[in-house]
Amino acid sequence: MTLVMTILARDEGDILRENLLFHLESGVDHIIVTDNLSVDATPDIIDEFARQGVVTPLREDGDDFRQGEWVTRMARMAAARHGADWVINSDADEFWIPRAGGSLAQALGALPFWRSTAQAWHHDFVCIEDPALPFHERMLWRKRRTTIPHDRPAPPKYAHRGWRWVTVVDGNHEVRHGRPGRVAGDVLDILHFTMRSPERYRRKILRGGEAFLRNPDLPESVGFTWRRQYEELLATNALRFVEESRYDLARAEAAVATGELVRDTRVRDRLRRLTGPGTPDAAVGA
C-alpha cells in the first residue's frame, strides 16, 4: 500500500520539519508540500526533504487563499503521479495518529475495500509559552472538548482513497471522491498544535483574513471562523480564542484535575526518538 500526504504551508518553519519526520516514521511514503509565500525557514526545510527524495515541492504565489484548488491539485497528483492508495490532506500543525495504535499505513491499509474515506477528529493543544523550548516540549496538554473559535464544534477531516479526479473542499473538511464507499469512523485522531504562540496566531488570522478579502469567488461560508476572527481582531485588537488557549503550568495541571484538559505526550515522545531530547531538563512538565 502507498500512503501519500499533502501539506499546504506558509511560514511554518517552527513545526514543519517535525511534522515531516513524524509522518514519514508513521508509514507515510511520500509528502507533497506546497509553499505559499513563506518568508521564514519553510522553503529551506522543504528543499532539505526534497533532496532526500521523500518530498515533492510545489510553490504557489497567489495571496488569495485558494486552498481547495491548491490541495485538490496535490491530492490528484498523489494518485496520478505517486500511485497513492490512500491520501491524507494535512496542515503543518496537524499530527495524524491511529486511535488503535500502530502506524498510519497499518490503520488505513487494514480498512475493507468498501471504505473510501476515514474520519479524523481534531484535538487542540493549549499554549504553554517558553521561547527556549520547541512546541512539542512545552505543549503537553490538550482540550478534552475541542471547538473552533466562537465555541462551534470542530468538524472532522478525512483521509481518502487515491483517485485522480478527487476534489478537496476548502478547509480539507470535505472530500468529493467519486468512488462508491462508506466512511470509516473512529479510526484516526489529529493532534493539533495551532496556537504555538499568541503572536504567530494573530499574524496568521490577519494574513488569512486579508487573503479571503482578495478572493471574491469564495462564498462567505468558506472560512467562516477565520473571517469572524479577522473581524474580531480588527475591532478589538485581541482574540478571545488566544486568551482561552493560553495556560501556565499551574493552570494546566489544575485543568487536568477538573477534566478540562488531558495530558498527552505522544507527539513529544515520538519526536524525542526522532530528533533527540533537546533540553529535557528544562522541558515543561518533563
pLDDT digit string, tens, across residues 140-166: 999 998 877 666 677 899 999 999 999
pLDDT of amino acid 285: 64
CB 224 within 8 A of CB 238: no
- Crossing angle of helices 42-51 and 16-25, in 10° steps, is 30
pLDDT digit string, tens, across residues 12-29: 999 999 999 999 999 999
pLDDT of amino acid 281: 47
- Crossing angle of helices 224-236 and 198-213, in 10° steps, is 110
Rama region for 14: left / alpha / beta (φ>0; ψ in -120 to 50; rest): alpha
pTM over 0.95: no
pLDDT of amino acid 282: 46
CB atoms near residue 122 (< 10 Å): 20
Closest CA to 104 of 191, 210, 215: 191
In this prediction, the residues of the chain whose per-residue pLDDT falls under 50 are: 280-282
